[in-house]
Structure 1
Amino acid sequence: MQAMSLRASSRLISASLGIDSALEELSPILEAAGCYRRRDDAIRLVVPDYGPGYKSKIILPSVVDSDSFRLYSVVIEDPDGVQSTHRLTTEAYLGIVAATNFKQRVRKMLEYYHADRLNYVTTGTPNRLEYDQGFFVKLGDGSADVKPIAHLYKGQVYQLAEYLGVPKEIRERPSTTDTYSIPQSQEEFYFSLPHQRMDLCLYGLNNDVPIEQVAAATDLDEDQVRRVYRDIDQKRKTTEYLHLVPDLPVAVDEVSTH
């Protein structure tokens, strides 16, 4: 069965909670900003034939399979439906991410428009796993006045959703960035491990749980858990800037020379 679209999910949750909603078409704004053109230009750095009728997504290798340095690749689907995978250069990867980040920032821009119009605050969606690992776009989905689930592991978010009566269709919808034209999970795009295991590994690392217990709980061996731990620490370092507030000049009191 095909996964429910983000639009259908949004309408369903609005209807189930009895709240007002507004449908905003982002494509014209994204086209005007050059989102798709810039993305396609970056992809063509490694796949020169990429163009109209093609689809794409970017992926990471598994974090538990080896100690090899993990690099992003782009998966291409041509107009005939044939897929191929291509290793991304740093320039191509950064260009793709920079272009697709337009989507999260445009969504947030319109969200703030409605918040200003209604004199509301905005809420953010990152859970503890996403917030800890920098899985958000700065000034995009990472921007919010309140982040009510940033302390909850992803599995706890699903439990809370069930308790609150969020429709089953939404709770069973695969987590996705809804950013690329080929369906893509958060696992293959960023975490490289199902969230159930990532939650347990993050909890184990945060709470000094003996590694053999984490391995037993996640059905991984101890070396694989260590690889996950190293990946968690690395992501914390490389995404630290996402959590930083803007630097401000330090005011210096005028000192009299007399």
Structure 2
Amino acid sequence: MTRITDLTTAPTPRPFGPHVLELDLDAEVRRIAAWFLDVVGKRLRRRGVVVAMSGGIDSSVCAALAVRAFGPGRVLGLLLPERDSSSLSSQLGRRLADHLGIEAVCQDIAPTLEAIGCYQWRDDAIRSVVPEYGPGWKNKIVIAGGTAGVPNHFRLIAQDPAGSTRDIRLPAKAYLQIVAATNHKQRIRKTLEYFHADRLHYAVVGTPNRLEYDQGFFVKNGDGSADVKPIAHLYKTQVYALARHLGLPPEICDARPTTDTYSLPQGQDEFYFGLPYEQMDLALWARNHGVSATELARALGTSEERAADALRDIDNKRRTTAYLHARPVLCESIAELGEFGIA
């Protein structure tokens, strides 16, 4: 009797790397569009949606997905620049609105911010560490520490009118006041989003991707407030892939993510994440799926120590920003509202 040996072997698994973020883009677009229609139309009972469009990749993809779901006639885009906004943001927002065929309303929120003291509170805090700071100066905040294995801290970069810069570690009081003042920007924008949503009987779309949502990169009751958040489950790498799949303008698809909050150019990595989004996406995926620091280091082309620091920083940010996700705490729950999904 002849014995036949089965030489079939299981395929060798691919090493951990960017391929883990690959997505069936057609299926995802269909799924989100169907979800949009179900949630907004049936559960929220609203006629359409409002999207504040910064010209960035996340709000652009959200607007495009909304158009897929509702059609251009039931999507309103808002452009809400202020004194420190890049002119490119409004240009890209208008370009997107034209591309999608949706109505876009533009309102400069600088007068409102001026009236409530946003710029004054911020500048007073900056002058507490840079006394000469004044008209013509520019500024931004950058993060340091967490991905290098030491506690996160923040530094102020202030540039005088001649172009010379100061780089100063911010004491807690000044840092908190600067952030509190600039948070007015996101909260005023959200107020206007809900004004237009109320007058049109629309829902407000929140635009965080998974990295931002998971790591608390949003302002409570500002850009963190919304009725629906269609891409909060998607890594930013996947959002960029969706943008190209949806045929969004190249100047939007190719742009690097910025905060567009401070007067000096600022990437999201230097303000908050510490690493470029491509690396942060892989680190977050690794943390969510139990990938070791050794494997992550190989994928990032860095040391195992730096990879371990990045994983720890993810957990630290989750702990410190849990408050941003928290719902209001009631002294006693209202049982009668339970059937409506209200605690």
TM-score range, shorter chain: over 0.9
Aligned equivalent of 2:91: 8
Matched to 1:38, the amino acid is: W
Give the CA deviation at 1:63. 4.2
SS state at 1:60 partner? strand
8 Å contact 1:124–1:145 — kept in the other structure? yes
Give the CA deviation at 1:168. 0.8
SS state at 1:72 partner? strand
CA distance in 2, matches of 1:145, 1:241: 19
Aligned equivalent of 2:198: 116
8 Å contact 1:4–1:169 — kept in the other structure? no
**How high is the TM-score relative to the length of structure 2?**
0.71
Query: Are 2:209 and 1:130 equivalent residues in the alignment?
Result: no
Task: List per-residue Cα deviations over 1:144-170 (Å, max 9, x = no partner).
Answer: 100000000000000011111111101
SS state at 1:5 partner? helix
Give the CA deviation at 1:62. 5.7
CA distance in 2, matches of 1:82, 1:147: 41
Could you say which structure has the larger radius of gyration?
2
CA distance in 2, matches of 1:25, 1:61: 32
SS state at 1:21 partner? strand
* Percent of aligned pairs sharing the same letter: 53
CA distance in 2, matches of 1:45, 1:23: 35
Correspondence for 1:217 among 294, 299, 304 = 299
Give the CA deviation at 1:67. 2.5
Tell me: CA distance 1:211–1:166, structure 2 relative to 1, closer, same or farther (3 Å).
same
Matched to 1:222, the amino acid is: E
**Between Structure 1 and Structure 2, which shows a larger proportion of strand residues?**
2
CA distance in 2, matches of 1:25, 1:108: 13
Aligned equivalent of 1:159: 241
CA distance in 2, matches of 1:133, 1:117: 33
Give the CA deviation at 1:215. 1.3
Give the CA deviation at 1:211. 2.6
Give the CA deviation at 1:4. 7.0
**How high is the TM-score relative to the length of structure 1?**
0.93
Aligned equivalent of 2:64: none
CA distance in 1, matches of 2:333, 2:87: 53
Correspondence for 1:208 among 290, 298, 302 = 290
Aligned equivalent of 1:256: none
Matched to 1:193, the amino acid is: L
8 Å contact 1:60–1:192 — kept in the other structure? yes
8 Å contact 2:145–2:153 — kept in the other structure? no
Moved beyond 3 Å, runs of 4+: none
Aligned equivalent of 2:125: 42
Aligned equivalent of 1:170: 252
8 Å contact 2:149–2:306 — kept in the other structure? no
CA distance in 2, matches of 1:231, 1:47: 30
CA distance in 2, matches of 1:156, 1:77: 35
Query: Are 2:176 and 1:99 equivalent residues in the alignment?
Result: no
Task: List per-residue Cα deviations over 1:46-77 (Å, max 9, x = no partner).
Answer: 1111111111000112644x323331110010
Tell me: CA distance 1:217–1:121, structure 2 relative to 1, closer, same or farther (3 Å).
same
Query: Are 2:333 and 1:242 equivalent residues in the alignment?
Result: no
8 Å contact 1:133–1:239 — kept in the other structure? yes
Aligned equivalent of 2:116: 33
Give the CA deviation at 1:252. 9.4
Matched to 1:180, the amino acid is: Y
Tell me: CA distance 1:251–1:154, structure 2 relative to 1, closer, same or farther (3 Å).
closer
CA distance in 2, matches of 1:77, 1:180: 12
Unaligned runs of 5+ in 2: 1-85, 336-343
Correspondence for 2:107 among 24, 28, 39 = 24
CA distance in 2, matches of 1:204, 1:98: 32
For this pair of structures, how many residues does the alignment match? 250
Query: Are 2:226 and 1:144 equivalent residues in the alignment?
Result: yes
